[in-house]
Chains A and B, each alone.
Chain A
Amino acid sequence: MALPQAKLDATEARLAGLTLPEGGKWASDARTQALARVRAMGLPSRRDEYWKYTRPDTLTAPETPEAAVFETDESPVFDGIDSVKLYFVDGVFDADASDDPALAGVEIERLSVVSGTDIHWAKDIFGVLEAKGQDPVARPLAALNTAFATDGLVIRATGKAERPVALIYRHADTASDAILHHCIRVESGASLTVLETGPVAARFNGVTEVDIADKGTFNHVRAQGRDHELRTATHMFARLGEESAFKSFTLTMNGVLTRNECVIELTSDNAIAHVAGAAVGDGDFHHDDTVFITHDSLHCESRQVFKKVLRNGATGVFQGKILVKEGAQKTDGYQISQALLLDDDSQFLAKPELEIYADDVACSHGSTTGAIDETALFYLRSRGVPRADAEDLLVLSFLAEAIAEIDSEAIADDLLTRLQAWLARRR
């Protein structure tokens, strides 16, 4: 089907400012194919059904909308977590600031180096999972990323990683436009935790492809940056082997536009995939979680838990789908999306979807939008807790179910502290 002229024009306008990076044959091929996908799909526009609730204009525009750099004297998120810390500034790896990436059981390389090689294991992942994730719904920004990303990390865990790998993103230039692409391979029986924090850049397009072999475990916890004017679009693509586990949690506390997509394919038996998120937004905050989980195997479990607290006209979006293919029997799928609206100006737009072609499955989904529970508020106040503190407690109570999805207690506590500070600042 031919694309509308406006879409073609907008796509070409964006592509005009970008050049395909040089690289080895496998990387160049992947990039050329990704560029062809972008041209075939066209970049997203507000007329696209998948972008009905989130305007993509500023994510696709040739010019980067400026974003002021947020100054804070608070300690960085995950600072207290024993991890290998790797820094990026405006989307460029900063080797001098980073720890030595030598961590037992984990190989870490830069995409910019790896993509110049003639042969590398990453060729089976780079752009491959992203391309697979384009069906049945187009994700053109992810293809754009594959085509033009020069930096990012290529990480391979062959055993149980001793410490988490923390990717810390700094934003320095008010007009930076970053494209980062990470490829992660968790080998059979291996386990790895990746932490991500920071604003990255004024505008950020991020893709992470995760390939988990049989019995592998991958944990991901992300705390997105606090810079108010940030525009962020991220995609996470995961392919899960037999009895493998994928768990991802994201905390978002600011940003005029954030769209986090997570695309998971359960193609081997007995795998589990959990995706969760907590978002707290104030004012012109727009936050979109878009999740697509495909069950294409036996006895797999998937879980989506998303909570948003919105005030002063903030907008929250959730598009979550569980697709159970024919023959994916004994699927256990769960999905919940909830919003707590602290005033009448804020809104939550939810599109929960189940599409099931197998007959022996247990799938459930729910979505709610509500205000602070007056009875609970009175209960707390009747015990002497002042109204503002009582409201904070109830906000944390609301978010607790999502935070509980994080396996590590230390990491969950760290994020809870951030949330408490966020609440305190907004009194």
Chain B
Amino acid sequence: MLKISNLHVKLEEEDKQILKGVDLEIGAGEVHAIMGPNGSGKSTLSYVLSGRDGYEVTEGSAALEGADILDMEPEERAAAGLFLAFQYPVEIPGVGNMTFLRTAVNAQRKARGEAEMSSTEFLKEIRAQAKELKIDADMLKRPVNVGFSGGEKKRNEILQMAMLKPKMCVLDETDSGLDVDAMKLVSDGVNALRAADRSFLVITHYQRLLDHIKPDFVHIMSDGKIIKTGGPELALEVENHGYADLLTEGA
């Protein structure tokens, strides 16, 4: 599904190398987790994949189903099936949540040469999806993320994911700012979307999210590289011993 090879990235504004040769291959239907200490480059990886300005790829490639995504605009990557759940979802006053989502769904469909979704179809689906995520009608009508609690914002990200039906979902520290109940709700939403043709890359600082979203593979990232790969037990090791041991091991 997603193949990242020898990815080197530096900040555009300053001469600072953030990713120093990331290799990662995610098969269809797989869930991969990336863990790592602060500043290891986890979030940068998510931004570079989704096409945020400010980063320069100096070497390497990233391909989604064989297509190089690094030269694509963010909206083209989205239409190709990439989705980033933001660590800090952005508030957009004056634009209704539902209007925004419908614009996004239909823009992607248009880009793929598919027919636009009718408003009845859209309404029916969004109501069903919102119900699963315990998002009420009021939240759908309100401006995008404005006045939403931390948990509501994250649930709204998952709702967008459910409506946009991406192939490759990148979750950037989705657990940050969530209490136990909210984490469960968000995780249930993600788990409901797991499918044979949909893959996930879960970026997290802590192991606890992985209790809910069970990964097939866990990668440890440090100083811009993946230094260790294993199964779910690797996350437990981090939980019990911290990153220190792993980092010395990797060095």
A394 touches B92 (CB 8 A): yes
**A residues within 8 A CB of B111?**
384, 386
Complex contact A381–B95 (CB within 8 A) = no
Report yes or no: A374 in contact with B53, Cβ–Cβ below 8 A.
Answer: yes
How far is B89's CA from A384's CA once the two chains are assembled, in angstroms? 15
Q: Determine whether the beta carbon of A387 is less than 8 Å from that of B75.
A: yes
Per-residue CB contact flags for chain A residues 365-406 toward chain B (1 = under 8 Å, else 0) read: 000000001111011111111110110011011111101100
Query: Is B218 part of the binding interface, using a Cβ–Cβ cutoff of 8 Å?
Result: no
Instruction: Knowing A384-B78, A387-B73, A393-B100, say if A379 contacts B90 (CB, 8 Å).
Output: yes
The answer to whether B51 and A382 touch across the interface, beta carbons within 8 angstroms, is yes
For B100, what are the chain A residues with a Cβ–Cβ distance below 8 Å? Answer: 380, 383, 393
Of A384, A394, A400, which is within 8 A of B164 by CB?
A384
Q: Are A396 and B78 in contact (CB under 8 A)?
A: no
Q: Chain B residues with Cβ under 8 A from A386's Cβ?
A: 73, 75, 107, 111
**Residues from chain A with Cβ under 8 Å of B93 in the complex:** 397, 400-401
- CB of B50 within 8 Å of the partner chain: yes
In contact, A376 and B90 (Cβ under 8 angstroms): yes
The distance in angstroms between the C-alpha atoms of A399 and B84, with both chains bound, is 28
Cα(A217)–Cα(B188), bound, Å: 52
Residue pair A396, B90 in contact (C-beta under 8 Å)? no
> CA A396 – CA B50 in complex, angstroms?
25
Report if B94 contacts A (CB, 8 A). Answer: yes
Tell me whether A381 and B94 are in contact in the complex, defined as CB-CB below 8 angstroms, given that A386-B107, A389-B107, A393-B100 are known contacts: no
**Could you tell me the distance in whole angstroms from the C-beta of B52 to the nearest C-beta in chain A?**
5
Given A378-B53, A393-B103: A383 and B164 interface contact (C-beta under 8 Å): yes
Q: A380–B104 Cα gap in the complex (Å)?
A: 8
A393 with B92: CB separation less than 8 A:
yes
Question: Is A382 a contact of B94 with CB atoms below 8 Å?
Answer: no
Query: Nearest B residue to A375 by beta-carbon distance?
Result: B90
Interface residues of B in 75-104 (CB under 8 A from A): 75, 77-79, 83-84, 86, 89-90, 92-95, 100-101, 103-104
> Is B189 an interface residue, CB under 8 A from the partner?
no
Q: How far is the CA of A384 from the CA of B107 in the complex (A)?
A: 6
| Residues of B with C-beta under 8 A to A397 | 92-95, 143
Residues on the B chain within 8 Å of A373, using CB: 90
Q: Is B151 an interface residue (CB 8 A)?
A: no
Selected from A383, A387, A394, the residue in CB contact (under 8 A) with B160 is A383
B74 within 8 Å of A (CB atoms): yes
User: What residues of chain B lie closer than 8 Å to A403, measured between beta carbons?
Assistant: 94
Checking A384, A394, A399, A404 against B108 with a beta-carbon cut-off of 8 angstroms, the contacting residue is A384
A residues in contact with B50, CB < 8 Å = 382
In the complex, the answer to whether A376 meets B92 with C-beta atoms within 8 Å is: yes
Chain A residue, CB-CB nearest to B106 = A384
Say yes or no: A381 contacts B89, CB within 8 Å: no
Give the secondary structure class of A's interface: helix
CA distance A383 to B89 in the complex (A): 12
Picked from B74, B101, B108, the residue with its CB within 8 Å of the CB of A378 is B74
Residues of B within 8 A of A384 (CB): 75, 78-79, 104-105, 107-108, 111, 164
Cα–Cα distance between A380 and B95 once the two chains are bound (Å): 11
B104: chain A residues within 8 A (beta carbon): 380, 383-385
Cross-interface CB contact of B107 among A376, A385, A398, A400, cutoff 8 Å: A385
B160-171 interface bits toward A, Cβ cutoff 8 Å, 1 = contact, 0 = none: 100010000000
Q: Nearest-CB distance from B243 to chain A (Å)? A: 29
- With CB as the reference atom, state the residue of chain B lying closest to A400: B94
| Contact partners of B75 in chain A: CB under 8 A | 381-382, 384-387, 390
Q: Which residues of B contact A399 (CB under 8 A)?
A: 94
Q: In angstroms, how far is the closest chain A Cβ from the Cβ of B110?
A: 9
> Min CB distance, B156 to chain A, in Å?
11
- Residues of B with C-beta under 8 A to A374: 53
Complex contacts, B84 vs chain A, CB 8 Å: 382
B78 closest partner in A (C-beta):
A384
Residue of A whose beta carbon sits closest to that of B50: A382
List CB contacts (< 8 Å) of B161-206 with chain A: 164
- Scoring B83, B89, B104, B143 by chain A CB atoms within 10 A of each residue's CB, the highest score goes to B104
Q: With A384-B75, A387-B73 as given contacts, are A379 and B86 in contact (CB-CB < 8 Å)?
A: yes
Residue among B79, B84, B93 with the highest chain A CB neighbour number at 10 A: B93
Query: How far is it, in angstroms, between the C-alpha of A386 and the C-alpha of B100 when the chains are bound?
Result: 12
Inter-chain contacts of A404 with B (CB < 8 A): 94
Shortest beta-carbon distance from B144 to chain A in Å: 9
Most chain A CB atoms below 10 A, which of B74, B100, B101:
B74
Enumerate chain A residues within 8 angstroms of B107, measured Cβ to Cβ: 384-386, 389
- Chain B residues numbered 124-159 whose CB sits less than 8 Å from any CB in chain A: 143
Contacts of A393 in B (CB 8 A): 92, 95, 100, 103
Minimum CB–CB distance for B97 against chain A, Å: 12
Find out whether the CB atom of B73 lies under 8 angstroms from the CB atom of A381: yes
Q: CB < 8 Å: which of B73, B83, B103, B143 contacts A389?
A: B103
Look across to chain B and name the residue whose beta carbon is closest to the beta carbon of A393.
B95
Q: In the complex the two chains form, what is the Cα distance from A117 to B123 in whole Å?
A: 61
Could you list 13 examples of A-B contacts with CB < 8 Å? A378-B74, A381-B51, A382-B84, A383-B101, A383-B160, A384-B104, A385-B104, A386-B107, A387-B73, A393-B92, A393-B95, A396-B95, A400-B93
Which chain A residues have a beta carbon within 8 Å of chain B's beta carbons? 373-376, 378-387, 389-390, 393-394, 396-401, 403-404
**Known contacts A382-B83, A386-B75, A403-B94, then 7 further A-B pairs from the complex at CB < 8 Å, ordered by chain A residue:** A376-B92, A378-B51, A379-B90, A382-B51, A382-B74, A383-B78, A393-B100
- Report which B residues bind A (CB closer than 8 A): 50-53, 73-75, 77-79, 83-84, 86, 89-90, 92-95, 100-101, 103-105, 107-108, 111, 143, 160, 164
8 nearest CB pairs, A to B: A400-B94, A384-B78, A384-B108, A381-B74, A383-B104, A379-B90, A397-B94, A381-B75
